[in-house]
Amino acid sequence: MNRWDGGKPAALLFVGLVFASFTITQVWSDDRPSVRGDAESSHLRPDVQATQLLAARCAVCHSTDLITQQRLTRIQWDAIVQKMVQWGAQLSDTERDVLVTYLAARYHARDVDKAVGLSQPITSEEPAGLATGAQGPGVRQGPAGNGEWLFTQHCAACHGAAAVGGVGPTLARNPIVDHERQFWDTVTNGRGAMPPWGSILNAQEITNIRTWLKTLQ
Amino acid sequence: MTETPSGLVSRRGILARLFGGLVLALTNGHVWWRPAWAGLIEPASQSNESHIVRVSRPLDAETPVREFVSWLTPNERFFVRSHFGLPQAENVDPSHWRLTVGGLVERPLRLRLDDLKQFEEVTLTAVVQCAGNGRAFYRPTAPGVQWERGAVGNAGWTGVRLKDVLAQAGLQPSAKHIQLQGADRPVSTRTPLFVRSIPIEKARHPDTILAYQMNGRPLPLLHGAPLRLITPGWMADSCIKWLTEITVGADEAKGYYMEKAYRYPVHAVEPGGAVHAGDMKPVEAMVVKSLIAQPAEGTMLKPGPVMIQGVAWTGEGTVVKVEVSTDEGQTWTAARFVGEASPYAWRQWQFVWQAHPGAHTILSRATDDRGNIQPLASPWNPGGFLWNGVDRVRVNVANG
Instruction: Give the CA dihedral B335, B340, B344, B348, nearest 10 degrees.
Output: -30
Give Cβ neighbours of residue A102 (< 8 Å, ≥ 6 apart).
A46, A47, A50, A51
Contact present, B357 and B237 (Cβ < 8 Å): no
CA closest to A62 among chain B residues: B57
Q: Are B341 and B347 in contact (CB under 8 A)?
A: yes
Please give, rounded to a whole number of angstroms, the shortest distance from the CA of B216 to a CA of chain A: 31
HEC profile for A182-204?
HHHHHHHHCECCECCCCCCCCHH
Smallest CA–CA distance from A8 into chain B, residue: B11
User: Both ends of chain A: CA-CA distance in Å?
Assistant: 58
The string of pLDDT tens digits covering residues A100-119 is 999 999 999 999 988 543 33
Contact at CB, B146 and A70, closer than 8 angstroms:
yes
Residues facing B182 on adjacent strands: B243
What is the value of pTM for the model shown? 0.73
Which chain B positions have a beta carbon within 8 Å of A14's beta carbon?
14, 18
Least CB-CB distance to A2: which of B6, B145, B187?
Answer: B6
Say which of A80, A112, A129 has its CB closest to residue B141: A112
Q: Which residue of A has its CA nearest to B24?
A: A193
Residue in A closest to B268 by C-alpha: A132
Q: Do A193 and B23 touch (CB under 8 A)?
A: yes
- Contact list in B for residue A136 (CB cut-off 8 A) is 137, 376-377, 389-392
CB contact under 8 A, B14 and A112: no
Task: State the greatest distance between any 2 C-alpha atoms of chain B, in Å, as a whole number.
Answer: 88
CB of B363 closer than 8 Å to CB of B392: yes
> In this complex, which of A60, A89, A137 lies closest to B392 when CB atoms are compared?
A137
End-to-end CA distance of chain B: 66
Q: How far is CA B335 from CA A8, A53, B290, B392, in A?
A: 82, 52, 12, 15
DSSP annotation string for A146-186: GHHHHHHHHTHHHH-GGG--SSSPP-TT-GGGG-HHHHHHH
A69 vs B5, B139, B146: nearest CB: B146
Q: What is the DSSP letter of B371?
A: S
Q: How does pLDDT run along chain B (400 residues), one tens digit per residue? A: 444 444 445 666 565 555 555 544 444 433 333 343 433 443 333 344 689 999 999 999 999 999 999 999 999 999 999 999 999 989 999 999 999 999 999 999 999 999 999 999 999 999 999 999 999 999 999 999 999 999 999 999 999 999 999 999 999 999 999 999 999 999 999 999 999 999 999 999 999 999 999 999 999 999 999 999 999 999 999 999 999 999 999 999 999 999 999 999 999 999 998 899 899 999 999 999 999 999 999 999 999 999 999 999 999 999 999 999 999 999 999 999 999 899 999 999 999 999 999 999 999 999 999 999 999 999 999 999 999 999 999 999 999 7
Give B136 to chain A, closest Cα distance, Å.
8
Count of CB atoms situated within 10 Å of the CB of A116: 17
Contact (CB<8Å) A1/B394: no
Asked if the Cβ–Cβ distance from B4 to A195 is below 8 Å, we say: no
- Judging contacts by C-beta atoms under 8 Å, the chain B residues touching residue A2 are 4-6, 8
Select from B369, B340, B343, B317 the least CA-distant residue to B126: B343
Q: Which of B26, B9, B4 is nearest to A17 (CA)?
A: B26
Strand partners, B81: B60
Count of A–B CB contacts within 8 Å? Answer: 150
- Nearest CB to A109 within list B134, B141, B297: B141
SS3 B186: coil
Candidates A22, A66, A86, partner chain B, best to mutate (most B CBs within 10 A): A66
